[in-house]
Amino acid sequence: MSAADRLVESMQTLLWERGYTATSPRAVQELAEAGQGSMYHHFSGKAALAVTAEHRMCEELRDQILGRLESGATAREKIAAFLTVDENVLRGCRLGRLVQDAAVVNDEHLREPIATMFEWIQIQIRDVLNEGVSSGDLPAELDIETLAATILAVRQGAYVLARGAQSAEPFRRATEGILQLLPVSQREATRIR
């Protein structure tokens, strides 16, 4: 692995563990086993390295999210797969945790990859819901945009609840709750019975 890749991977790890403000360039360099000269050869500074790490996190999350949203036969099954508890639930969402850092929120370059990713996730959820309406799994009168935003918000909030309780149980309850509220079409209701 190149020094640049080690630096990016180390920044990803530390952003998730500590956040942006609490991550020093020195900590990244030590974890990456790279010197200061190497870091500044590849990146103009901490912010540039963090943005690169955010983009890499987004790529990894895209693959995970697409895998989950493609894993079911019906829209409800796909949304349930998206909402499934993962092994890192007590660590929280890698990106969601960053927007709680004032330095990230106040810096357009640091905030942009996260905002773009959340928008992309909502589009993927919206597409699944639209497919559900088209196939007859979900009722046609659904407000797809609002429901997609709600599903993402519940997942993000469920991470916060799980971290606060240091238990995956609040995450499970929150995601089970949104599935209970997800309406089904008459055709789907008949099939489920």
Query: CA-CA distance, 17 to 20, in Å (whole number)?
Result: 9
Domain ranges of the chain: 54-192
Q: To 10 degrees, the CA torsion angle through 2, 107, 91, 25?
A: 40
- The confidence score (pLDDT) of residue 159 equals 94
- The confidence score (pLDDT) of residue 132 equals 94
- Segment (H or E) for 76: helix 75-82
Query: CA-CA distance, 124 to 69, in Å (whole number)?
Result: 8
- The confidence score (pLDDT) of residue 86 equals 83
Query: CA-CA distance, 53 to 189, in Å (whole number)?
Result: 44
> CB-based burial of residue 146 (10 Å sphere; 0-12 exposed, 13-18 middle, 19+ buried)?
exposed
| Lookup result for tokens 């106040």 | 106
What residues contact residue 103 under an 8 Å CB cut-off, 6+ apart?
Answer: 20, 21, 110
Query: CA-CA distance, 20 to 27, in Å (whole number)?
Result: 12
The pTM score is 0.90
Are residues 61 and 117 in contact, defined by beta-carbon separation less than 8 angstroms?
yes
| Lookup result for tokens 């500044």 | 40
Q: Phi first, then psi: what are they for 138, rounded to 5°?
A: -125, 150
Using alpha carbons, select from 188, 111, 160, 187 the residue that is nearest to residue 179: 188
The first and second tokens of residue 175, run together, are 């995601």
Give, as one character, the DSSP assignment of residue 88.
T
CATH H-level superfamily of 54-192 = Tetracycline Repressor, domain 2 (1.10.357.10)
Q: What are the pLDDT tens digits along the chain (193 aa)?
A: 799 999 999 999 999 999 999 999 999 999 999 989 999 999 999 999 999 999 999 999 999 999 999 998 899 999 999 999 888 899 999 999 999 999 999 999 999 999 999 999 999 999 999 999 999 999 999 999 999 999 999 999 999 999 999 999 999 999 999 999 888 765 656 665 5
What residues contact residue 53 under an 8 Å CB cut-off, 6+ apart?
Answer: 8, 9, 11, 12, 15
